Homo-oligomer: A and B are copies of this chain.
Amino acid sequence: MRRVLQLRALRARAGGGLTAVDDRTERHVLGLIERVKAKPLRFRDDQITMAHGAGGKATMALIEGLLAPAFGIEELSDAGEVGELAFTTDSFVVKPIRFPGGSIGELAVNGTVNDLAVAGARPLALALSLILEEGLRAADLRFEVEAMASAAEAAGVRIVAGDTKVVERGHCDSMYITTTGIGRIDPRASLSPSSLQPGDRVLVSGPIGEHGMAIMLARGEFELEASVESDTRSLWPAVDALLDAAGDSVRCIRDATRGGVASVVNELARASAVAVVVREADVPVQPAVVGACEILGIDAMYVANEGTLVAFVAPEAAAGALAALRSVPGFEKAAEIGAVKTEPPGLVLVDTAFGGRRIMDLLVGDPLPRIC
């Protein structure tokens, strides 16, 4: 029984974390990372802050420094395994609960389905638990229940267990949903975060940053109007196509949720002790997202997705894998965006559109709380 703790999109540093780097800087940063890797992070805070839920270094410290040792968990990944089954859980506290392109109910189903999918497991069944706020309008609850039912049907999973609790007005925001999924580990999959090899190609399944930007705009805090919809959807068809086309040449897959593409690429570069070079010009991103990011001063690579994966594929299988991905409806804009290198291990570098090279580092702060 392999035991893991979910670490979706940990390890990112706020958009400003892109810094020029030369060889000397690389060696210096490398030294720091090696020291960090040598000992797990410690949880030293006196109290919980929003950063502990943001998927950054504080979250990692909470998990590596408290939860994983207490529960005797050694490997940190997206889904635990029980025999041939994968098992994953996720609470959803997104605010607002409805946003362009989706809502908390749809997100709660797809988020857990996707954690199974990127672990190489065909989603089978879901349990869902509702914490409802006293005074929640029945119409709003109906809407989310129908959204969950539709998303489950679209993803081919059945809802087999449930629970409902109610808390007093003001003690949650409309509703929090926890979904737990069981999937059957696909025999075609041999995925591991530590299996990246120099030469591997990096694929992304579609345009990035749409979910996080849709939530940010839906909150209305920025008085910015742009037509961006969440990309929430099941990733199993994309994973299925990848495994069919490339089988065990697919090294690892991640859904790029909290912390965005930058975070999952960093996570895997560290886990495999390899470098990854991303070609900024090849990363698909909608003009509306680019525009909103520029105005807000953030980098789309750090903005959350809820229906977009990053896959590392052996070089000889990459072209076939990309073609297979593009043949799946909804994933036509998949792209190869980079490659794995030997040096400097644990670092992600970006070749910018202007010909420069920067480090794409980990997030420390909390750029966007409660996007899922």
| Chain B min CB distance to A148 (Å) | 7
Residues of B within 8 A of A50 (CB): 134, 166, 168
26 contacts between A and B (CB under 8 A): A4-B160, A5-B162, A6-B161, A46-B137, A48-B134, A48-B166, A49-B135, A51-B166, A59-B164, A67-B145, A67-B164, A70-B146, A70-B148, A72-B149, A73-B160, A73-B162, A82-B160, A85-B182, A87-B125, A87-B161, A89-B128, A91-B165, A93-B131, A131-B131, A170-B170, A178-B180
Q: How far is the CB of A229 from chain B (nearest CB, A)?
A: 23
List B contacts of A49 (CB < 8 A): 134-135, 166
Please, which residues of chain B bring their CB within 8 A of the CB of A180?
89, 127, 129, 161, 178, 180
Q: Count copies of this chain in the complex.
A: 2
Q: A4-B160, A66-B141 are in contact. Are A136 and B48 (CB under 8 A)?
A: yes
Contact present for B71 and A148 (CB under 8 Å): yes
**What's the dominant secondary structure at chain A's contact region?**
mixed
Bound-state Cα–Cα, A336 to B4, Å = 43
A219 at the A/B interface (Cβ < 8 Å)?
A: no
Q: A residues touching B (Cβ–Cβ < 8 Å)?
A: 1-6, 8, 43, 45-54, 59, 62-63, 66-67, 70-73, 79-82, 85, 87-93, 124-125, 127-138, 141-142, 145-146, 148-149, 152, 158-168, 170-173, 176, 178, 180, 182, 369-370
| A162 in contact with B6 (CB, 8 Å) | yes
Nearest residue, chain B, Cβ from A147? B70
* A54 CB contacts on chain B under 8 angstroms: 166
Min CB distance A131 to B, Å, is 5
Closest 5 CB pairs of A and B: A53-B166, A80-B160, A89-B127, A180-B180, A178-B178
The answer to whether A160 touches B1, judged by C-beta atoms less than 8 angstroms apart, is yes
Task: Determine the distance from Cα of A47 to Cα of B148 in the docked complex, in whole angstroms.
Answer: 19
Which of B48, B87, B162 is in CB contact (< 8 Å) with A71?
A: B162
Q: Is the CB–CB distance between B48 and A133 below 8 Å? A: yes
- The interface residues of chain B lying within 8 Å CB-to-CB of A148 are 70-71
Contacting residue for A182 out of B82, B134, B142, CB 8 A: B82
A53-B132, A71-B148, A89-B163 known; A158 vs B48 contact (CB < 8 Å): no
In the assembled complex, the CB of A256 is this many whole angstroms from the nearest CB of chain B, namely: 17
By the criterion CB–CB under 8 Å, are A127 and B87 in contact? yes
Whole-angstrom distance between the alpha carbons of A38 and B298 in the complex?
59
New contact pairs (11) apart from A72-B159, A93-B167, CB-CB < 8 Å: A1-B158, A3-B160, A46-B137, A48-B133, A48-B137, A49-B166, A62-B164, A71-B148, A131-B131, A131-B176, A167-B172
